[in-house]
Structure 1
Amino acid sequence: MELHHEFTVPVPVDDAWRALLDVERIAPCMPGATVDDYDGKTVTGSVKVKVGPITVTYRGTAVFEEQDDSAHRMVLIANGKETRGQGTARATVTGTLAERDGGTAVSVRTDLTVTGRPAQFGRGVMAEVGDKLVGQFAECLARRLEEPTERTEPVEPVEPVEPFRSAQPDRPVQPLQPVEPIDLLRTAGPPVAKRVAVVVATAVLALVFVRIRRRRHA
């Protein structure tokens, strides 16, 4: 399926371009995502998706196939596989930036292929959820771009977990915090959630029915 999203950020286009290529800086704005490693071209990490009682984790990589500084255009190819299942996700994301009224307009085109449990919700639900997630990302990115690049106030200490390996050795390593999965029911909103809930309920009933049959034949 093909998805198209647009949003604006309140900074000049060159600043927005540098920020979007700064994976360490924008990683916390990516809903459900955890970045484990980044070498300047390839991002390794995971994305968690929650549908009712079911949580699916995709692990994989995202590779910058194109970074055109003059045209402010990037192409990112991401591949992931369920850690507990056969489902897969593949996306080719093309982003272009353009100056608009002193800020930057960001256009994102995504060619997405998903197999497994989330795929059964169909293009309409996935598109609506995508709209919500891109909106959350844009709001978070705008807030981060308005923050000073260096903090002057002390930072509260956090419990360290597996460290993020930065592509920039001179940048302090930031400890990662547990990431909440993308909750499709909550993100989609009531109208869409009702349609998703029907699918989830059907899947759960089918699973229960299969288990009952297996027990009877055991």
Structure 2
Amino acid sequence: MELHHEFTVPVPVDEAWRALLDIERVAPCLPGATVEEYDGKTVTGTVKVKVGPVTVTYRGTAVFEEQDESAHRMVLLASGRETRGPGTARATVTSTLTGRDGGTAVSVRTDLAVTGRPAQFGRGVLAEVGDRLVGQFAACLSERLTQAPAGAVEQPTPTAEPRPGDLAEVPEPSEPLDLLRAAGPAVAKRVAAAVGVAAAVAVVVAVVRARRRRRA
């Protein structure tokens, strides 16, 4: 499925470009994500997704396939697999930055493929969840950019740690991304109803099979 989102941040385009490439800085704005290692091109980490009472953890990598600074365009290829299940997730994320009224408009196109439990939500629900998450990410990023002085993304930290490649030693914990909560009350009710129906059908099927085995 293809999703499209746009948001703005209150800094010039060059500063926004550097900030979005500073994975350690923006990772805390991504719900459920934990960065373990980053070498300047490839990110290794996990994403935790909560579906009702079940939490699914995806482990994988994201690679910057393209970083065109002159056009302010980046392409990120991400893939992951459930640590305790057969589910997979793949995404190609293309971001384009454009200067606008002293700030920056960020256009994000995501080609997403998900299998496993989160896939039960369908395109409509995932699109609504995406809208909310992008809004949260934009607000978090804007706050971080306005709190730090211009150009801070290029300055080394006073402690000289952590540095790219060392993140596996001190990964920041992250709360799971709760899809039902992120979807909002109206959508969550529809999803909960669908999950309830699916669970009821599963119970009926199990009972029928048990009776057949006893008769045999």
**TM-score class normalised by the smaller sequence:** 0.7 to 0.9
Query: What's the CA shift for 1:83?
Result: 0.9
Query: What's the CA shift for 1:74?
Result: 0.1
SS at match of 1:180: coil
* Cα RMSD (Å): 2.4
Matches of 1:175 and 1:167 in 2, distance apart? 11
Where does residue 137 of structure 1 map in the other structure?
Answer: 137
Deviation readout 1:87-143 (Å, 9 max, x if unpaired): 110000000000000000000000000111111211000000000001110000001
Matches of 1:6 and 1:199 in 2, distance apart? 30
Residue type matched to 1:140 in 2?
Answer: C
1:181 and 2:176 are equivalent in the alignment:
yes
1:191 and 2:192 are equivalent in the alignment:
no
TM-score by length of 1: 0.85
SS at match of 2:128: helix
Matches of 2:68 and 2:89 in 1, distance apart? 26
Deviation readout 1:164-189 (Å, 9 max, x if unpaired): 963278xx999444211111111111
Give the share of equivalent positions with the same residue, in percent: 71
1:146 and 2:151 are equivalent in the alignment:
no
Contact 1:51/1:200 (8 A) holds in 2: no
- Select 2:163's aligned residue among 166, 169, 192: 166
- Point out where structure 1 has 5 or more consecutive residues left out of the alignment: 151-163
Contact 1:50/1:182 (8 A) holds in 2: yes
Residue type matched to 1:36 in 2?
Answer: E
Contact 1:37/1:166 (8 A) holds in 2: no
Matches of 1:168 and 1:72 in 2, distance apart? 25
**After superposition, where does 1:62-211 map in structure 2 within 5 Å?**
62-148=62-148, 166-167=163-164, 175-206=170-201, 208=203
Distance 1:85 1:75, change over 3 A: same
Matches of 2:33 and 2:199 in 1, distance apart? 26
Residue type matched to 1:24 in 2?
Answer: E
Matches of 1:85 and 1:174 in 2, distance apart? 26
Query: What's the CA shift for 1:2?
Result: 0.3
Distance 1:82 1:71, change over 3 A: same
SS at match of 1:178: coil
SS at match of 2:164: coil
SS at match of 1:85: coil
Residue type matched to 2:41 in 1?
Answer: K
Contact 1:38/1:165 (8 A) holds in 2: no
1:9 and 2:9 are equivalent in the alignment:
yes
Greater Cα radius of gyration, structure 1 or 2? 2
- Point out where structure 2 has 5 or more consecutive residues left out of the alignment: 153-160
Contact 1:37/1:44 (8 A) holds in 2: yes
Matches of 1:117 and 1:54 in 2, distance apart? 9
Contact 2:32/2:175 (8 A) holds in 1: yes
SS at match of 1:179: coil
Where does residue 39 of structure 2 map in the other structure?
Answer: 39
Counting helix residues as a fraction of each chain, which structure ranks higher?
A: 2
Matches of 1:6 and 1:165 in 2, distance apart? 31
Matches of 1:50 and 1:93 in 2, distance apart? 22
Where does residue 49 of structure 1 map in the other structure?
Answer: 49
Distance 1:69 1:184, change over 3 A: same
